[in-house]
Structure 1
Amino acid sequence: MAFDLKGSLEHADDEAFILIKAAPRASETHGETVCIAAIDHNGCWVRLYPVSFRQLEDAQKFRRWDRIRYRWRKPVASADRRVESRRVDQGSIEIIGRLREKDRHAFINRSAVTSLRAELQAGRSLALLNCEVIEFWSERQNQNEMERQHNVYRIMRQQGDFLSQANLIPREVCPYVFKYRYRDDDGEHTGTCQDWETEATFLRRRSEFCSEQKALEWMVEKFGVEFPREGMALAMGTHRYRADQWLINGILRVNKNPQLSFL
Structure 2
Amino acid sequence: MAVNDVRILILCKTYPSPSGRYTETTCVAGMDESGRLVRLFPVPFRLIAKDHQFKKWQWIKAKVEKAKKDHRPESFTIKVDTIDGGEVVLPGKGWAERRRLLSPIKVYCDFLDIEAARQATNQSLALLKPARIIGLEIEPVSDPEWTEEELAKLVQEQKQGGLFDDDDKPSIKTLRKLPFDFYYRYECGEGATAKTFRHKLVDWEVGALYWNCHHSHRADWERHFREQLEKEIPEKDLMLLMGNQHRFQDQWLIISLIYPPHQMQTELAF
Fold conserved (TM > 0.5)? Answer: yes
Q: Does the 8 Å CA contact 1:138/1:216 hold for their aligned counterparts?
A: no
Aligned to 2:72: 82
Whole-angstrom distance in 2 between the partners of 1:217 and 1:55: 31
- TM-superposed CA distance for 1:231, in Å, is 3.0
Identical pairs, percent = 25
Gaps of 5+ in 2: 156-167, 265-270
- Is the counterpart of residue 64 in structure 1 residue 64 in structure 2? no
2:262 partner amino acid: K
Task: Report which stretch shifted further, 192-201 or 224-233.
Answer: 224-233
- Confirm or deny: 8 A CA contact 1:137 1:220 kept in the other structure: no
Q: 1:175 aligns with which of 175, 179, 188?
A: 179
State the Cα distance separating 1:116 from its structure 2 match: 3.1
Alignment of 1:91-170 (within 5 A): 91-102=81-92, 103-111=97-105, 112-122=107-117, 123=121, 124-131=123-130, 132-143=132-143, 146-148=145-147, 151=151, 158=171
What count of residue pairs does the alignment treat as equivalent?
231
Work out whether 1:205 is the aligned partner of 2:204: no
**2: CA distance between counterparts of 1:86 and 1:126?**
13
Counterpart residue type for residue 94 of structure 1: D
Pairwise CA RMSD: 3.4
Contact 1:202/1:219 (8 A) holds in 2 = yes
What is aligned with 1:227?
A: 233
Structure 1 position 192, deviation (Å): 1.3
Contact 1:234 1:250 in 2 (8 A): yes
User: 2 CA distance for matches of 1:238 and 1:173?
Assistant: 22
Segments of 5+ residues of structure 1 without an aligned counterpart are 1-8, 160-169, 259-263
Choose the corresponding residue for 1:40, options 32, 36, 45. 32
Distance apart, 1:83 and its partner CA: 0.6
- Superposed structure 1 runs of 4+ greater than 3 Å apart: 53-56, 119-122, 148-153, 155-159
Q: Higher helix share goes to which structure?
A: 2
> Within 2, Cα distance between the matches of 1:207 and 1:92?
36
Give distance in 1, aligned partners of 2:67 and 2:77. 6
